[in-house]
Chains A and B, each alone.
Chain A
Amino acid sequence: MYDFAYHKPASVADAVKILASDPEARPISGGMTLLPALKLRLNKPTAVVDLSGIAELRGVKREGDKLVIGALTRHFEVATSAEVKAAIPALAAMANTIGDTQVRNRGTMGGSVANNDPSADYPAALLALGATIQTDKRTVPADEFFNGMFTTVLEVGELVTAIHIPIPEKAGYAKMRNPASRYSMAGVFVAKGAAGVRVAVNGAGANGVFREKAMEAALAANWSPDAVAAVKVDAGLMNGDIHGSAEYRAHLVTVMAKRAVVDAG
């Protein structure tokens, strides 16, 4: 790892100020993605800005018909939060499948969302649940926030501060993990709520997380595993690599969608 300067600001304002003064500085929360990348010298920031001292970014609150989750809330906290388990049990259950025990003890929802790894779990959940991502500058609907593999609309130095998630009537998630890496080969999050039926897919798309609108229409007409079983996914839009062909992933998306509907009940 190359060396860098280290800052630990106590407020969002201070963090943003440091990041604005140096476009080569990188924020770190749990560091579960950034640190492995730094160790491989894939990235060479001049400074690392540790957000973990910013208490205002932590914690889960219920505000009316939505959950508000602070960006620094760790996966373990989401998985075990009484508020999340009561309001969106599928989200708590999903959080409990991210990485491993030690990743869940360190990794944060804001970090995962800002990184937008195509195999990450939260982006599919937020897209399907119609969440809104709050940053230090603005609020962005999940539909606009995720912008292709490892890409979001975040500007350099802009920080995710909280995630607002409308509480659905039903939600479910299923994923097929690569047996070695344990990353999602195809994961499907289904939700039914005020915004209708929404289905989002991770791990499989050639361009990162995406909504599967044919499945949404099928489930809106008939909420059942059989309804999505009939929907064929276009392999041309899927990612193919050494772990699985595009055709295999397209098939997996349908299978995971059926399981997600079963999970949602």
Chain B
Amino acid sequence: MPQVTLTVNDTKHTVEVEARTLLVETLREQLRLTGTHVGCDTSQCGACVVHMGGDSVKSCTILSVQCDGSDITTIEGLAAADGTLHPMQEAFREYHALQCGFCTPGMVMSAIDLVNKHPDGMSEKEIREGLEGNLCRCTGYHNIVKAIAAAQDVMQGRVPELVRAAAE
């Protein structure tokens, strides 16, 4: 069987996989990182989004063998060792950007990639368009968009709008 080496959340793993094994299967079943979810399994819902080399990808639509030698980040790799949440996670909590939570790991991973690729910040429209590949069936997206808008300010060193409004 093919052997692949993945650096997942800064830890190097070498695992044996079948050529047909999907990245999400390796993450969940072999590495037991079950924060990455399988929703639709047809590349549409985005619950399985992880970062590969810093880019958001749907881990249900990539073979583990295609990831050999890659750096992968999953939702488990975001918070600091002492439990301090990533600013995006913190914003999702603060703005109540989830209800059932199933889509949340993928939403957070997609959102971080979007913020990283828009260093000057995104408009609400750009955030909504950027989330096209992530489906949420309960929130109506509104609070997710608000959370991402707030987190991008924190991640990019601006004063979040709501904090500014409260201070004025």
Contacts and interface: CB of A to CB of B under 8 A. Distances in A.
Interface of A: 1-6, 8, 28, 31-32, 35-36, 38-39, 48, 50, 52, 76, 99-103, 105-106, 182
A99 B133 contact: yes
Contacts of A32: 43, 61
A3 B20 CA distance: 5
A95 B10 CA distance: 32
B114 A101 contact: yes
30 contacts: A1-B20, A3-B19, A4-B19, A5-B19, A6-B2, A6-B65, A8-B68, A31-B62, A35-B63, A36-B43, A36-B61, A38-B20, A39-B42, A48-B19, A52-B66, A76-B55, A99-B133, A100-B132, A101-B110, A101-B130, A101-B133, A102-B43, A102-B49, A102-B57, A102-B110, A105-B56, A105-B57, A106-B61, A106-B62, A182-B132
Interface in B112-132: 113-114, 130-132
A1 B113 CA distance: 29
B63 A6 contact: yes
Interface string B13-36: 000001110000000000000000
Nearest to B59: A102
B46 interface: yes
A31 B63 contact: yes
B66 A50 contact: yes
Contacts of A28: 66
B41 interface: yes
Contacts of A36: 42-43, 61
Query: A-B pairs with the 6 shortest C-beta distances?
Result: A100-B133, A6-B19, A105-B55, A100-B132, A1-B20, A3-B20
A4 B114 CA distance: 34
A137 B70 CA distance: 32
Nearest to B113: A101
B142 to A, nearest CB: 19
A133 to B, nearest CB: 25
Contacts of B132: 100-101, 182
A60 B65 CA distance: 27
A39 B41 contact: yes
B37 interface: no
A52 B62 CA distance: 12
Given A4-B19, A36-B43, A52-B66, A101 B61 contact: no
Contacts of A182: 132
Contacts of B68: 8
Contacts of A6: 2, 19, 63, 65
A36 B58 CA distance: 12
Nearest to A50: B66
Interface string B124-150: 000000111100000000000000000
A50 B63 CA distance: 10
Contacts of A35: 43, 61-63
A102 B58 contact: yes
